[in-house]
Structure 1
């Protein structure tokens, strides 16, 4: 993989900021402009490439940062762009570019993030149904709903203050990623236009894959560092041949995950490959991290358990790996 000097600077800037800010979202938006990356320039954004977005996601994954980047700056922005409503884009995208949090309500309780058979149903002026696993849905100020209609999947804008909207934060194993269930009961809604959810899901998978690759890389770095410090039989455990082989295998896994992530935007099949491989890579590295750290990995003071939780939570987001396997290896 080859990155431009600008992308290297973006990576360095994000990493430095994450190292000094306890609440990084305002600074990420105000100083670096991460919320504006995917927004076209005509709507007040930076009009950056998807690779730039993935670079930011990779750094956020390394630090397990709790921000609405994936749900707002990626999912909400691209869903709005896909609806084709120029007035809605002109009204909402500048707000998203400034850091206002947006959310997209989409999937049902099975968590498959389907391209058809969506969780909600829409009419000319209302939306009904319950959407699950909505990223930062409990605090989002801009709420978009993908709903089924007689004309296919349609994007709606819903005012979060309406009586027909009930938002409930969902306790999650991964405390660094906020999820919510949102129930719509004849909620007044404004239809924005037809949207094909499949390309949006694939793009989200590509960005999520970069985040997973970043988390896997950092988990491996911490594990290598620890095995160089922990001693048994009078020597660092990292010097044992068996552990060297395990570390080498994990290094290959991390590097192939990065390659898969950055190739993912090229086609739907590669997006599915990245979703499957990066989910399995992070899960494997996180499990080895727990194993090699021993008892300390289970304490609140050490981050190992957080990488393990992120691995399992991220694997289910936008559809579990097994749901994407048929797209990797078509049957028949």
Structure 2
């Protein structure tokens, strides 16, 4: 694997850094996060029409740019650094990946061009409990006529209250574990679908609860084979974990930068606190964690590229994904917590930004499983 960025990838990173520095300022983030939608729709349309980021990994035959997972990781790292409030992660990191992994040609032709042109947002809903494995799928899909009737409730759905398309997981009656799980593409405005924003500690990324009350869905909305979708869903979750990890790495990097900037300004005992040896040691520890996080996410991105776009078949993706999520979850939380500590009394005040990164760190740590959960997955995979 080649770990150096190409000229094109460097250009993507530079343009993303420049654009987000202008549009995702602290003021813009704070303005968007207090709204129920959680993002500025005008900015989202600007991202779609000017930057075309939502089409990054969509193949060219569906109107996309046809780029890969490394390029997506570059974007997500910069977005995490600036706490961009947008439906990008839910649409691209969840919805697009689900369609690419599990959708048939007709379904891809139906949904991907709409996402590529910026007229459709999407998300993935699958868990009904505070857990992230196959046993968390509780919504029931009962075969009826030429389709299915779905009933149940989903929790912790990113942008679930605003997304236009819901990729949902449900299981057949009396099934358990990995058996009997199916994936469906469901328009969010379908009869029987109710959605409710559920406020969380992290106001920069909205989550929702989605309830299905005897929702009828036709058989052509089924992604893949009925009752055999766990393998596809698991792969989508592994790809999503890498995407979250990239955001965490960017957030950890910005927590370090904020801290260094502050300690170079804060004067104590006649000199800046950045000159104190103890402060230097803690900042150095943060930097080591940031750099190790970057190594983990870009290795995982290369593995994801091979698994999703290059047709490679292997068992590296589960381990690489779990490794990235475990390390980046711990690193981001550590850096965000250290940032607050090194800012002193102002670290958790509303006027300063470290508390925003601390809350995002905790939220993303638990989403899709924390470090301990993924370390257990690694242990099981290598035994």
**TM bracket (short chain):** over 0.9
Query: Is contact 2:255–2:339 with CA below 8 Å preserved after alignment?
Result: yes
CA distance in 2, matches of 1:325, 1:120: 28
Aligned to 2:149: 126
Aligned to 1:269: 319
Alignment map for 1:161-310 (pairs within 5 Å): 161-189=189-217, 190-194=221-225, 195=229, 196-265=232-301, 266=303, 267-310=317-360
Partner secondary structure for residue 153 of structure 2: strand
Structure 1 position 193, deviation (Å): 2.3
CA distance in 1, matches of 2:138, 2:97: 20
Higher mean C-alpha deviation, range 61-70 or range 150-159: 150-159
Superposition TM-score, scaled by structure 1 size = 0.95
Is 2:180 the partner of 1:152?
A: yes
Aligned to 2:76: 57
Higher mean C-alpha deviation, range 314-323 or range 250-259: 314-323
Aligned to 1:107: 127
Aligned to 2:116: 97
Aligned to 2:57: 38
CA distance in 2, matches of 1:135, 1:104: 8
Query: Is contact 1:17–1:28 with CA below 8 Å preserved after alignment?
Result: no
Partner secondary structure for residue 155 of structure 1: strand
1:136 equivalent among 139, 159, 164: 159
Higher mean C-alpha deviation, range 189-198 or range 221-230: 189-198
Query: Is contact 2:129–2:136 with CA below 8 Å preserved after alignment?
Result: no
Structure 1 position 116, deviation (Å): 5.1
Is 2:92 the partner of 1:77?
A: no
Partner secondary structure for residue 180 of structure 1: strand
Stretches of structure 1 lacking an aligned partner (at least 5 in a row): none
CA distance in 2, matches of 1:152, 1:96: 29
Higher mean C-alpha deviation, range 320-329 or range 32-41: 320-329
Q: Report how many aligned residue pairs link the two structures.
A: 331
Change (3 A) 1:119 1:38: farther
Deviations 1:217-243 (A, max 9, x none): 011011011101101110111101111
2:20 equivalent among 11, 18, 23: 18
- What CA RMSD, in Å, does the superposition of the two structures yield over aligned residues? 1.6
CA distance in 2, matches of 1:56, 1:188: 37
Structure 1 position 32, deviation (Å): 1.6
Deviations 1:20-52 (A, max 9, x none): 235432222211211101111111111111000
Structure 1 position 246, deviation (Å): 1.0
Partner secondary structure for residue 125 of structure 1: strand
Deviations 1:25-81 (A, max 9, x none): 222221121110111111111111100000110010000111111110121011112
Query: Is contact 1:117–1:148 with CA below 8 Å preserved after alignment?
Result: no
